[in-house]
Amino acid sequence: MNNEAKKTVFSGVQPTGKITLGNYLGAIKNWGPLQDECNCIYCVVDLRSITVAQVPADLRKNTMELLALYIACGIDPQKSTLFIQSHVPQHAELAWALDTISYIGELNRMTQFKEKSRKHAENINMGLMNYPVLMASDILLYQTDLVPVGKDQIQHLELARNLAERFNSRYSPTFVVPEGLVYKQGSSIKSLQDPTSKMSKSDPNDNAIITLSDDADTIRRKFRRAVTDSDTCVRFGEDKPAISNLLTIYSLTSGESIADAEQRFAGKGYGVFKEAVAEAVIATVEPIQQEQQRLLKDKAYLESVLKQGADTAERIASKTLAKVYRKIGFIPRVR
Ligand code: TYM
């Protein structure tokens, strides 16, 4: 397939330290397999992360670690464009233009905004509210067809679609209207301590989340402490949210189907099952961690990936932004 006929894929993760098993199973794991069929663009969304106060040195470290993690998870910089959001100024510029067609009412309704406002009541800043517009600009700048994300991003994606359609109808067709790519399995990995809420990196209870930097013993301990459902049967079902979550994690990390896993663990009890889930997760994350550590030692390589990625991204982004400015009625700068 030539590049023109390929669909464009865009996605990103915030570099806020703890990258969870939810981020991996719901998003990053699905990115690599798209690389051959699509033009993939994957971003470390650092502009987003400062909507919650960050320690600058940690942000720098987390950004490079996340870039290395993308590559360690199988994203090949020769096939995909990998870059840091703040390296491409068009993201913030398009966000401004899109701001002027976004309504306070629709941003005020965003679930994540409401949740984060509750969690960070002392810092409900404009960026926090405005953030979904920046995410829309990330997506629309690249004329994205598909956005592989977890379930919690569907509402933001809907806003990106609405803004694309609104701009297209107010001016003339300019943006591709993107589609979400949300996989049936893994799009909402739950907390190990409360299977009714999602596994979230900002969870204050460390036992609720598995991070991609947890070592084997920590992973074993966290699964051992994971809450279970009332009976002792390893079965998937709406009435068994805790075991269903563990079965999903097991299936996605071991490659075994849920039905096969139910059979394998029939009559074995939760203890044996939890051990097996922990071992499947360890076998998945350990090679990623080793590769990530190896990459982090090669700063020159990571910087070359970032340079190439930002150059490619900026070429595409500046084309879209120029088109947007022209349609709005801004006079192009004479060079
Ligand atoms: P972020 O950094 O919160 O999460 C990154 C990705 O992980 C998915 N995810 C989950 N999937 C399954 N189960 C979970 N428990 C879980 N927790 C998180 C998220 O759905 C997401 O796909 N706004 C975005 C980042 C972003 C973006 C974009 C994404 C910025 N610009 C453009 C796509 C396209 C965010 O904060 O994701």
Residue 85 tokens read as 């959001």
Please tell me the distance between residue 154's alpha carbon and the centre of ligand 1 in angstroms: 10
Same domain, 143 and 48: yes
Same domain, 17 and 137: yes
Same domain, 24 and 166: yes
Ligand 1 atom at minimum distance from 135 CA = 31
Same domain, 316 and 254: no
Query: Can you give the pTM of this predicted structure?
Result: 0.96
pLDDT for 2 beyond 80:
no
Residue of 190, 198, 240, 274 marked catalytic: 198
Ligand 1, pocket residues at CB < 6 Å? 10-14, 22-23, 26-27, 45, 48, 135, 138-139, 147, 149-150, 152-153, 156, 187-189, 198-199
Same domain, 284 and 303: no
Same domain, 241 and 96: no
Same domain, 133 and 20: yes
pLDDT digits 0-9 by tens, 256-271: 999 999 999 998 989 9
Same domain, 287 and 305: no
Catalytic-residue membership of 18: no
Please give the residue range of the domain that contains residue 246: 206-293
Q: What is the domain count for the chain?
A: 2
Residue bearing tokens 């002027």: 100
Using alpha carbons, select from 284, 249, 335 the residue that is nearest to residue 26. 249
**CATH of residue 217:** 1.10.240.10
**CATH of residue 170:** 3.40.50.620
Catalytic-residue membership of 319: no
Percentage of the chain with pLDDT > 90? 89
Same domain, 286 and 309: no
Same domain, 83 and 229: no
pLDDT digits 0-9 by tens, 89-108: 999 999 999 999 999 999 99
Residue of 6, 7, 119, 201 marked catalytic: 201
Q: Residue 18 — very low, low, confident or very high, per pLDDT cuts 50/70/90? A: confident
| Cα distances (angstroms) measured from residue 248 to each of 8, 22, 218, 236, 258 | 28, 11, 20, 9, 7
